[in-house]
Chain A
Amino acid sequence: AQRVTQPEKLLSVFKGAPVELKCNYSYSGSPELFWYVQYSRQRLQLLLRHISRESIKGFTADLNKGETSFHLKKPFAQEEDSAMYYCAPAAYSGAGSYQLTFGKGTKLSVIP
């Protein structure tokens, strides 16, 4: 069965400290991987996509196919990074479309 696991429900770090939000997935085939962010009571926003190899707001994510992980990292946390972060693999579901499945999310709290 397809599954995505974010083991930490809550992660608290001090401002300026490094951040790593963990994500492990269990999927048949090779899913595409995304991170979404949700600031307090707002819509989910696409943060970054593995396929683009991008760095957004200082965040990067490395795909480790051997460990089936896609951890999100930032070297120096800022207060404005406080939010819910969701790891979301997208698997092909037929008829030319991809289905996003979300992890339970990790709430990042950056302490001033």
Chain B
Amino acid sequence: DARVTQTPRHKVTEMGQEVTMRCQPILGHNTVFWYRQTMMQGLELLAYFRNRAPLDDSGMPKDRFSAEMPDATLATLKIQPSEPRDSAVYFCASGTGLVNYGYTFGSGTRLTVV
């Protein structure tokens, strides 16, 4: 069963520190999404890529967040500097872009900024 792999699973960091979250999409998937999940806001789309090119990152605070795909097997989401309000679960999802197959989610990175 192919899976989307996210690391780390948990991260606790101090305010002001840089945080990098990684995602390995399913081999052959060319569309990658980053979502943030909080109790208050639910699931928010932060950014997504197709064939490694960013298509939309309008949901992402540009001053501190950045998302990249250095190659087809790795997507990264970076927060610098981190703030307590960034505490959330960050999910990565990948797919082929063919809508009838949906998208597959990773297990998420639970970030706590203290």
Give Cα A49 to B103, complex, Å.
Answer: 11
13 residue pairs bridging A and B, Cβ less than 8 Å apart: A32-B100, A43-B91, A43-B105, A43-B106, A46-B104, A52-B100, A92-B99, A95-B50, A96-B97, A98-B99, A100-B33, A104-B42, A105-B43
B50 and A49 within 8 A (CB): no
- CB pair B107–A43 under 8 Å, yes or no, is yes
**Contact code string B45-62 (vs A, CB < 8 Å = 1, else 0):** 100101001011000000
A interface residue count range (under 10 / 10 to 19 / 20 to 34 / 35 or more): 20 to 34
Contacts of B105 in A (CB 8 A): 36, 43-45
Proximity bits, B68-103, A CB within 8 Å = 1, else 0: 000000000000000000000001010001011011
Residue B24 at the chain A interface, CB threshold 8 Å: no
B25 at the interface (CB under 8 A from A): no
Assembly CA distance A62 to B71 (angstroms):
40
- Measured between beta carbons, the chain B residues less than 8 angstroms from A94 are 55
- By a beta-carbon cutoff of 8 Å, the part of chain A in contact with chain B is 32, 34, 36, 42-46, 49, 51-52, 86, 90, 92-105
The CB with the most chain B CB atoms within 10 A, among A42, A44, A49, A92, is that of: A44
Q: How long is the Cα–Cα vector from A103 to B105 in the complex, in angstroms?
A: 16
- Whole-angstrom distance from the CB of B78 to the nearest CB of chain A? 22
> A90, A101, A102, A104: which contacts B99 (Cβ < 8 A)?
A90
Interface centre among A90, A96, A101, A105 (most CB of B within 10 A): A96
> Complex formed: what's the CA distance from A57 to B103 in Å?
19
**Chain A residues with CB under 8 A of B43:** 44, 86, 102, 105
Cβ–Cβ contact A97 & B100, under 8 A:
no
Q: Check B31–A97 contact: CB distance below 8 A.
A: yes
Mask of B18-55 contacts with A, CB within 8 angstroms, 1/0: 00000000000001010100000011010010100101
A96-B97, A97-B48 as given contacts; A49 in contact with B56, CB under 8 Å: no
Chain A hits for B103, CB < 8 A? 46, 100
Minimal beta-carbon separation of A27 from chain B (angstroms)? 13
Residue of A nearest to B4 (CB): A43
- CB atoms of A99 and B48 under 8 A apart: yes
